Amino acid sequence: MDIAIQKYSRTYFDLIEAFKQPDCAVCRLTDAAVCQYIDIFIYENITNVARRQEIREARLFCSLHTTKFLSGYGRLLSLATLEQDVLNDVLRSTNRVIKHPLSRPGKIGALFQNAARAIRDAIRPARNCTLCDYERSQERVMLGTLIQFIEEPDIREAFEASNALCLPHYYMGLGMPGRHERIIKVQQAVLAKTKADIDEYVHKRNPLYHDQEMNEDEIESPTRAAKLISGRIIHMDGRW
């Protein structure tokens, strides 16, 4: 391989390609990485006792990542196996509380309150969603690469022509070491442009101004702004 190319990781080239696509590149690459991770997990780790225990302790996944599990082809059986684990564990723990209530002397109301507290303890996740943990690690690699190489012409030009980072990834990037001037400049420009498109959208949706046509950017601005403000949106059918 060319020595000049060896200097850059695969993430560097992935980022350049992703900046050419709509919306936040880190969201897009993280989403692809999580999908791949789920597929590998299903084929290689579904019988791994330690991994299964982590997921059981986390009470499956967060809502966003459970949606990702539901949306892929052939993932339902694996999901069902994990759900079995969690429900078994929840029922075992809650049954124990219900069959052996803490029999302290006192009013019957206090007894139910104690049971409610014990059941809450039994159903509460004892650890983070494992896919959230994986996502954070991927985001750190991607943002670290962007910050490290932002002055290299290829990635700089791709970033400057992109839809910038979503606010959650912008926030995360600013908290990482390195120089952030160029990132801040691009972010400000994209935020201002998105705000201008949203202003036009709201204005032209007003019945008083219905004769004014919207351009392409304005028509899709609410969805684009949602992804810019909140990060990626998960569709059940797997589309971006």
Q: Token pair of 7, please?
A: 């200097």
According to CB under 5 A, which residues from 37 to 76 bind Zn ion?
Answer: 62, 65
Inter-residue contact 54 to 127 (CB < 8 Å) = yes
- Asked if residue 26 binds Zn ion (CB under 5 A), the reply is yes
User: If binding is defined by CB under 5 A, does position 227 make contact with Zn ion?
Assistant: no
Return d(Cα 131, Cα 235) in angstroms, integer.
17
Is 28 a residue that touches Zn ion (CB under 5 A)? no
Q: In angstroms, give the least distance from the CB of 79 to Zn ion.
A: 14
27 binds Zn ion (CB under 5 A): yes
CB of 108 to Zn ion, least distance (A): 40
Judged by CB under 5 A, which of 24, 34, 79, 228 binds Zn ion? 24
155 binds Zn ion (CB under 5 A): no
- When the beta carbons of 203 and 235 are compared against Zn ion, the nearer one is 235
Nearer to Zn ion, 35 or 132 (CB): 132
Which of these, 79, 88, 89, lies nearest to 46 by C-alpha position? 79
CA distance 232 to 14: 17
Whole-angstrom Cα Rg for the chain:
24
Exposure of 73 by Cβ count < 10 A (0-12 exposed, 13-18 middle, 19+ buried)? exposed
Nearest C-alpha neighbor of 218 from the set 232, 235, 200, 206: 200
Q: How far is the CB of 204 from Zn ion (least distance, A)?
A: 28
Distance separating alpha carbons of residues 55 and 52, to the nearest angstrom: 5
Q: How far is the CB of 184 from Zn ion (least distance, A)?
A: 16
**Contact characters 164-193, Zn ion, x per CB under 5 A:** --x--x------------------------
Contacts of 22 (CB under 8 A, 6+ apart): 163, 224, 240
Q: Which chain residues interact with Zn ion by CB under 5 A?
A: 24, 26-27, 62, 65, 129, 131-132, 166, 169, 231
